[in-house]
Amino acid sequence: MNRAMGKKILLYECEGFLEEILRQTNHEFLIDADPVSSINDDVILVINNANFKDQSLNLLAHILPVIIIGTTKLQNLNPHIKIVPKPIVISELLALLNKAKSYAAMIAPRIWLNASQGILIHNIKELSAISLTSTETKLMQYLSCEGQSKTKNEILKNVFGYKSSDTNTLETHLSRLRKKIEPTLTITSDRDGAYRIHY
């Protein structure tokens, strides 16, 4: 049997046989824990419940891999959610687990940025997500990287590709971004004109 690199798998309402089969891999398991409170970068959520209609699942799928065994009644299914039909072909399920990866980076405690889709997720239980433009997403990625202050020149060069700081482009984009993300996150500048995100 193909042995995958060890990952944490949250089995939610799965039958015992599935747990037994997956125990033959070197994955770590969480059994029937609350999917929302169990989120971290390493978890793969495997759900076996055709009646599971919690819309937070669509939001969770912007952060971590979600695999549904069987069918689902969820409307407007997030394209990141993978469906494994029954009867299960174990090799296909193991292949999905091996390829599974997180879709978002945690940029602060309980705050994730899905850069590929331009979504900032900050409150799973209340289904709170903020849509960002591609420029706002790049700004969030750059400002949250390494937690250090970034000067206007650094931001203009690395986010916008500008060589000169003789522009108000940054201030305009930051103003729009602040309106979206505050009070969850704040962007401040110090007396030297360096910008930083605060959580």
Percent of residues in the chain assigned helix, strand, coil, to nearest 5: 30, 25, 45
136-154, pLDDT tens digit by residue?
A: 999 999 998 877 889 999 9
User: Would you state the pLDDT for residue 127?
Assistant: 62
User: Would you state the pLDDT for residue 2?
Assistant: 41
46-60, pLDDT tens digit by residue?
A: 777 655 556 677 788
Task: Quote the tokens at residue 70.
Answer: 């069987």
Range 166-182 average pLDDT = 91
Continuous segment of H or E residues that includes residue 144: helix 134-144
Residue 1 has pLDDT above 60, yes or no: no
Q: Who has greater pLDDT, 138 or 109?
A: 138
For residue 32, name the pLDDT band (cuts at 50, 70, 90): low
User: Would you state the pLDDT for residue 178?
Assistant: 94
Q: Which residues contact 158 (CB under 8 A, 6 or more apart)?
A: 142, 150
> Looking up tokens 């089969």, which residue turns up?
21
Q: Who has greater pLDDT, 8 or 183?
A: 183
Residues pairing with 30 in the sheet: 10
Q: DSSP assignment, residue 146?
A: G
Residue 33 has pLDDT above 70, yes or no: no
Residue 64 has pLDDT above 80, yes or no: yes
Write down the architecture of domain 106-198 according to CATH.
Orthogonal Bundle (1.10)
Q: Who has greater pLDDT, 137 or 102?
A: 137
